[in-house]
Amino acid sequence: VMRRDGSGFYYFTGRADDMFVCGGENVYPGEIEKMLERHPAVLQAAVVAVPDEIKGEIPIAFVVLKERSVSVEDLKRFALESGPAYSHPRAFVVVDELPVATTHKLDKRPLKARALEARGPAAVPLERRTPTQTGEILYTSGSTGRPKGVVLSHAGQLWALSVHVAATPMAGERSLIVAPLYHMNALFNVSVCLLNGIEVVLMPRFDAAAYLKAVAEHRCTLLSGIPTMFALMARERELLARLDLSRVKAVTIGSAPLTEALVARVQQMFPQAAITNGYGTTEAGPSIFEDHPQGLPRPLLSLGYPLPDVEVRLEGGTGDAGVLHVRSPAMFTEYLNLPGVTGARLRDGWYDTGDVMRRDGSGFYYFTGRADDMFVCGGENVYPGEIEKMLERHPAVLQAAVVAVPDEIKGEIPIAFVVLKERSVSVEDLKRFALESGPAYSHPRAFVVVDELPVATTHKLDKRPLKARALEAAKALKR
The pLDDT tens digits along the chain (479 residues) read 788 888 889 887 767 778 898 888 889 999 999 999 999 999 999 999 998 888 889 999 999 998 778 888 999 999 999 988 888 999 999 999 999 887 778 888 889 888 888 887 655 555 678 899 999 999 987 655 678 999 999 999 999 999 998 877 788 899 999 978 888 989 999 999 999 999 999 998 899 999 999 999 999 999 999 888 998 899 899 999 999 999 999 999 987 778 888 899 999 999 999 999 999 999 999 999 999 999 999 998 999 999 999 999 999 877 789 999 999 999 999 999 999 999 999 999 999 999 999 999 999 999 988 888 888 898 888 889 889 989 999 999 989 999 999 988 888 999 999 999 877 899 999 999 999 998 888 999 999 999 999 887 667 788 889 999 999 999 888 75
Predicted local confidence at residue 333, as pLDDT:
96
Provide DSSP, 259-310: -HHHHHHHHHHSTT-EEEE--B-TTT-SB-EES-TT-PPPPTT--BEEPTT-
* AA identity, residue 131: P
Q: Where are the domains of the chain?
A: 2-119, 134-369, 373-478
Architecture of the CATH domain 134-369: 3-Layer(aba) Sandwich (3.40)
Which fold, 373-478?
GMP Synthetase; Chain A, domain 3 (3.30.300)
Rounded distance between C-alpha atoms, residue 326 and residue 433, angstroms? 37
Dist. CA 191–CA 199, nearest whole Å: 11
The predicted pLDDT at position 252 comes to: 95
Angle in degrees, CA 204, 207, 210, rounded to 5: 85
Going by the DSSP 8-state scheme, the letter that residue 124 receives in this structure is: S
Helix (H, G, I), strand (E, B) or coil at 466: helix
306 within 8 A of 324, measured Cβ to Cβ: no
Please list, residue by residue across 291-323, b when 16 or more beta carbons sit within 10 angstroms of its beta carbon and e when fewer do. ebeeeeebeeebbbbbbeebebebeeeeeeebb
Q: CB neighbours (10 Å) of residue 116?
A: 13
DSSP 114: H
Task: Identify the H or E element spanning 231.
Answer: helix 227-233
How far is Cα 69 from Cα 61, in angstroms, rounded to an integer? Answer: 18
Alpha-carbon dihedral angle through residues 277, 460, 143, 346, given to the nearest 10 degrees = 20
Q: How far is CA 244 from the centre of its chain?
A: 27
Residue 252: Cβ-neighbour burial (10 angstroms; 0-12, 13-18, 19+): middle
Pick 2-119's CATH classification: 1.20.1430.10, 3.30.70.1110, 3.30.300.30, 1.20.120.420.
Answer: 3.30.300.30
What is the distance between the alpha carbons of residues 124 and 109, in angstroms, rounded to a whole number? 27
Domains 2-119 and 373-478 share a fold: yes
Going by C-alpha positions, the residue among 386, 402, 390, 389 that lies closest to residue 450 is 402
Q: How far apart are CA 137 and CA 86, in angstroms?
A: 27
Prediction pTM value = 0.68
Residue 256: per-residue pLDDT:
77
Cα gap 233→223, rounded to integer Å? 13
In three-state secondary structure terms, 160 is helix
Opening angle at CA 338, ends 333 and 341, nearest 5: 80
Output the pLDDT for position 390: 92
What is the SS3 string spanning 302-369?
CCEEECCCCEEEEECCCCCEEEEEEECCCCCCEECCCHHHHHHHEECCEEEEEEEEEECCCCCEEEEE
At position 300, the amino acid (one-letter code) is L
Q: 49 by DSSP, 3-state: which?
A: strand
pLDDT of 23: 84
Instruction: Write down the pLDDT at residue 142.
Output: 65
Burial of 176 (0-12, 13-18, 19+ CB in 10 A): buried
User: What is the sign, positive or negative, of the torsion defined by CA atoms of 127, 165, 353, 176?
Assistant: positive
